[in-house]
A and B are shown apart, each in its own frame.
Chain A
Amino acid sequence: MEFGIVELSRLQFAMTAMYHFLFVPLTLGLSILVAIMETVYVMTNRPIWRQMTKFWGTLFGINFVLGVATGITMEFQFGMNWSYYSHYVGDIFGAPLAIEGLMAFFLEATFVGLFFFGWDKLSKVAHLTVAWLVAIGSNFSALWILIANGWMQNPVGAQFNPMTMRMEMTDFYEVLFNEVAQAKFVHTVSAGYVTASVFVLGVSAWYLLRGRHIELARRSITVAAAFGLASAFSVVLLGDESGYSATHSQKMKLAAIEGMWETEAAPASFTAFGFPDQEARTTHYAIHVPYVMGLIGTRSLTTSIPGIEELESQAETRIKSGLIAYDALMHIREARDNADPAETARFEAHSADLGFAFLLKKYVDDPRQATPEQIVQAANDTIPTVWPLFWAFRIMVALGFGFIATMLYFFYRASFKGMDFPRPALHLAVWMIPAPWIAAELGWFVAEFGRQPWTVDGVLPTAMSVSALSMTEVALTLAGFVIFYTVLFVIEMGLMLKYIRKGPFQDVEETDAWVIRHTERLAGRRNADAIAMPAE
């Protein structure tokens, strides 16, 4: 592959987006965990919960600020590096981004300051409200950015306008309730909740191993395990929902994830393991689990899922149809206001395939001049590189099941074994901390790399989306971001570790009266929630 401006711009986008996504999942989940802890504090009035709120709140703050800072790059680099994309789909894609600012960013950013500075200025209930507003704001922002991203995966509710040479919105509700966007939203926020739960669990386990801050750590584990268990189930089930929606909208991505070269008779089997070979178009040493793929992808035993080669030949047909649309478009544009109705009708009949004609722009300036070989080549381009998708997906799913198992275990120990955690389990929890980040980054990779060669699936090829910049400019900013982000990352990790080592500002002792009642309750009903107690 030739390395040009497109590849360099993609590298920069991937790097800045994946870096941004190191901080976002923790923000999504920790904002809610902190709000839950503060809710318990307000309901029970017990100082330990206030201490927990403040301690995890401090770590939340260190992480939150980098999520905000790196998010700024995301908001602006579409215009900087992807200006044709911005022009071409800004009419649809820009709206959720702006709504995200209005509805979510203002909410979280305005109240996050008050969360840290308002402890002495607000009543307890008012401060709790502020904590929840920060959490809701963070989660709303995920909703809107995933509506925008969902549209790139499944561009509904929009139509090409020959007069403006761009896609324009025809139905906002379709964009909003895009099934891909909705499935992605719930999957992504659940992933964030799992990330934060594993983080809280791991850090608390480390305290228990060291015999420090035991009161704080045991309660934190209990909250994290309960919340994490629900989230881990939800991230896997809703990930399955994403797969199901991809069956309708992104067949090629699904087939590539599966390494499914040829269409199988329904119900298709799931390839649990194998080595996909792009050249030979086969998956070596494949281990198949019968029926599973058909059930996941179509939720039926009779619908078949198309394989890569079938989709490739469909792409070739669509390229040829797209060429008719392209030719009609050129005539309409020349005539401007006096377009021939016959040309308009011809264009409209084929406009759904216009994007496929653009795939040829990589080879010829005027797609109508393309040779048959170039058309075959362009159809071949619609197949993403299979092996990274195949493996990234499988590792992500395995980690997902790992989270369910871990959370289930800690939830059991916390609820039924009086918060007694064996040391090996605590060690495991500490080592587990990086795992949700790996899963989240792989998930991003599967979604975005799997969409190639498109920025907007079937509408706009990536190669056409870039700005007319020089290699030098993009190389300079890429180098700048790498240096800059590395320094920030080192500083952030340093501070995180410092504050984790330092622990809470001061340990809070439970009152004697509370401890006595707590012990009594444990003795009386071992299965009762040992934590939640009425206010002293």
Chain B
Amino acid sequence: MILHSLIDYDILRVIWWGLLGVLLIGFALTDGFDMGVGALLPFVAETDVERRVAINTVGPVWEGNQVWFILGGGAIFAAWPPLYAVSFSGFYLAMFVVLAAFIVRPVAFKYRSKRDDVRWRTSWDWALFASGAIPALLFGVAVGNVIQGVPFHFTDDLHTIYEGAWYTKFIGLLDPFSLLAGVVSLSMLVMHGGAWLTLKAEGNVRDRARRFGSIAALVAVAAYALAGVWMALGIEGYRIVGDYLTTGPSNPLHFEVEKTASWLTAYSDRPWIAIAPIMGIAGGLLTFLGLRAGREVSTLLVSKMAILGVISSVGLTMFPFIMPSSSDPRSSLTVWNSSSSHMTLFIMLVVTVIFMPMILAYTAWVYKVLWGKVTEADVTDNSHSVY
């Protein structure tokens, strides 16, 4: 098969770097509000009926949303195998916690309302809270670690070796900057969940969602801005040194990499990327105002804009780095040396171009069918069919 040479290897790599971003953003925009609603559950809903209203706002859609997470794993495996291998084995115990959350959450959604027992339901409510809040926090922590570089190196035959004992590997993830990044992602997704509940719920649940969502929006903007300042002052960046091939074989050890004073020099090299953090901050502030004003549809849209801005700002700032190595910079994963082969990237692009529009179309149709508010009457009248 020679079709794949229609698109140059380096262009395919950049496209797949973009698609990686699309997947992460797609995940945060859809599953993000599920996690946000979970994290908000104990705060916005007090009675059982209120909780069921909140849960049923995401009831019919969380399964589809969660596929963004699974597809994220699959697509990283297919398009960026070294990233898949290094990050998941490196963040091993943290990944286990995230997996546990993603396993317990579906079960909690589905099983909570299947028994009329108060203890049963309260336990599942806690499960929903934890499985929303903990991964939302840990995703940010992971990004914080990636920004600072992760302590790993490759052997000559590309075995990944992590520095340090298992407990330092795990506890070491929770440094102050990464925790701050975790606060950004948690508050951002809580804000998004608040915007969703404002749109889909009524009465008390909606009013509390507006209040907590707007607080979360302010926290997100402040933490994001603080992280930016921190990156300007105290976080080292990375760059590739010397000549390198953007179309060469995917072997990270073929590159020379060194640390620089800061990632933020990217903004003087390519000033246009400033649009991303501007969207992030403006989106967060507009969401705050929208929640205060009680606007529904437009608030959800600006909340999406905030998420789009925040996530893409990380990728654009670090480009072409995907996962730098702090202990052996030469092992760093970049767009140019950690992708799949030319042919696999091409085939996967063709498949994505065919199926992604279909997915977006039928997902949009499902949301349209489900359009409208979930009321207390809806859940009490249909107890045997809804959650």
Q: Collect the chain A residues with CB atoms within 8 Å of residue B343's CB.
A: 168-170, 172
What string of 1s and 0s marks CB contacts (under 8 Å) between A84-120 and chain B?
A: 1011001111110111111101110111111011110
A285 to B353, CA, bound (A): 59
Query: Does B355 interact with chain A (Cβ within 8 Å)?
Result: yes
Query: Does A513 interact with chain B (Cβ within 8 Å)?
Result: no
Q: Are A101 and B103 in contact (CB under 8 A)?
A: no
Q: Are B160 and A467 in contact (CB under 8 A)?
A: yes
Q: Are B103 and A98 in contact (CB under 8 A)?
A: no
Q: Are B385 and A98 in contact (CB under 8 A)?
A: no
Distance to closest chain A CB from B373 (angstroms): 14
Give chain B interface residues in 234-270, CB to chain A under 8 Å.
249-251, 254
Q: Are A113 and B78 in contact (CB under 8 A)?
A: no
Query: Does A473 interact with chain B (Cβ within 8 Å)?
Result: yes
Q: Collect the chain B residues with CB atoms within 8 Å of residue A473's CB.
A: 92-93, 166
Q: Collect the chain B residues with CB atoms within 8 Å of residue A122's CB.
A: 369
Given contacts A110-B366, A117-B60, contact A80 B166 (CB under 8 A): no
Query: Does A165 interact with chain B (Cβ within 8 Å)?
Result: yes
Query: Does A42 interact with chain B (Cβ within 8 Å)?
Result: no
Distance to closest chain A CB from B80 (angstroms): 8
Query: Does A166 interact with chain B (Cβ within 8 Å)?
Result: yes
Q: Are B156 and A333 in contact (CB under 8 A)?
A: yes
Query: Does A338 interact with chain B (Cβ within 8 Å)?
Result: no
Query: Does B351 interact with chain A (Cβ within 8 Å)?
Result: yes
Given contacts A73-B103, A98-B75, contact A113 B59 (CB under 8 A): yes
Query: Does A523 interact with chain B (Cβ within 8 Å)?
Result: no
- B385 contact from A62, A69, A117, A467, Cβ within 8 A: A117
Query: Does B233 interact with chain A (Cβ within 8 Å)?
Result: no
Q: Collect the chain B residues with CB atoms within 8 Å of residue A336's CB.
A: 254
Q: Collect the chain A residues with CB atoms within 8 Å of residue B1's CB.
A: 171-173
Q: Collect the chain A residues with CB atoms within 8 Å of residue B89's CB.
A: 79-81, 83, 467-469
Q: B360's closest neighbor in chain A, by CB?
A: A106
Q: Are A121 and B370 in contact (CB under 8 A)?
A: yes
Distance to closest chain B CB from A457 (angstroms): 20
Most buried by A among B63, B156, B351: B63
Q: Are B107 and A117 in contact (CB under 8 A)?
A: no
Q: Are A68 and B71 in contact (CB under 8 A)?
A: no
Q: Collect the chain A residues with CB atoms within 8 Å of residue B104's CB.
A: 69, 484
Q: Collect the chain B residues with CB atoms within 8 Å of residue A505's CB.
A: 384
A110 to B161, CA, bound (A): 39
Interface size classification for chain A = 35 or more
Stretch of B94-102, B174-182, B193-201, B281-289 with 4 or more beta carbons under 8 angstroms from chain A? B94-102
Q: Are B66 and A68 in contact (CB under 8 A)?
A: yes
Q: Are B166 and A472 in contact (CB under 8 A)?
A: yes
A336 to B105, CA, bound (A): 49
Given contacts A90-B81, A480-B100, A484-B100, contact A98 B74 (CB under 8 A): yes
- A97 contact from B77, B161, B347, Cβ within 8 A: B77
Q: Collect the chain B residues with CB atoms within 8 Å of residue A161's CB.
A: 249, 341
Query: Does A72 interact with chain B (Cβ within 8 Å)?
Result: yes
Query: Does A289 interact with chain B (Cβ within 8 Å)?
Result: no
Q: A80's closest neighbor in chain B, by CB?
A: B88
What string of 1s and 0s marks CB contacts (under 8 Å) between B65-76 and chain A?
A: 011011101111
- A98 contact from B78, B88, B162, B370, Cβ within 8 A: B78
Q: Are A79 and B88 in contact (CB under 8 A)?
A: yes
Given contacts A76-B95, A86-B77, A105-B71, contact A470 B166 (CB under 8 A): yes
Query: Does A61 interact with chain B (Cβ within 8 Å)?
Result: yes
Q: Are A70 and B103 in contact (CB under 8 A)?
A: yes
A61 to B111, CA, bound (A): 10
Give chain A interface residues in 474-496, CB to chain B under 8 Å.
476-477, 480, 484, 488, 491, 495
Q: B161's closest neighbor in chain A, by CB?
A: A468
Q: Are B81 and A69 in contact (CB under 8 A)?
A: no
Q: Are B107 and A71 in contact (CB under 8 A)?
A: no
Distance to closest chain B CB from A51 (angstroms): 12
Given contacts A75-B70, A98-B79, contact A69 B102 (CB under 8 A): yes
Give chain A interface residues in 443-485, CB to chain B under 8 Å.
467-470, 472-473, 476-477, 480, 484
Q: Are B66 and A90 in contact (CB under 8 A)?
A: no
A95 to B343, CA, bound (A): 11
Q: Are A99 and B103 in contact (CB under 8 A)?
A: no
Most buried by A among B89, B96, B249: B89
Chain A residues in the interface with B (C-beta under 8 A): 61-62, 65-66, 68-73, 75-76, 78-81, 83-84, 86-87, 90-95, 97-103, 105-107, 109-114, 116-119, 121-122, 161, 163-166, 168-173, 333, 336, 467-470, 472-473, 476-477, 480, 484, 488, 491, 495, 498-499, 505
**What are 23 sample pairs from A and B whose C-beta atoms fall under 8 A apart?**
A65-B109, A65-B110, A66-B107, A69-B102, A83-B88, A84-B159, A86-B77, A94-B76, A95-B340, A95-B347, A97-B73, A98-B77, A100-B74, A101-B67, A113-B366, A116-B60, A117-B386, A121-B370, A165-B157, A168-B341, A169-B343, A170-B343, A476-B96
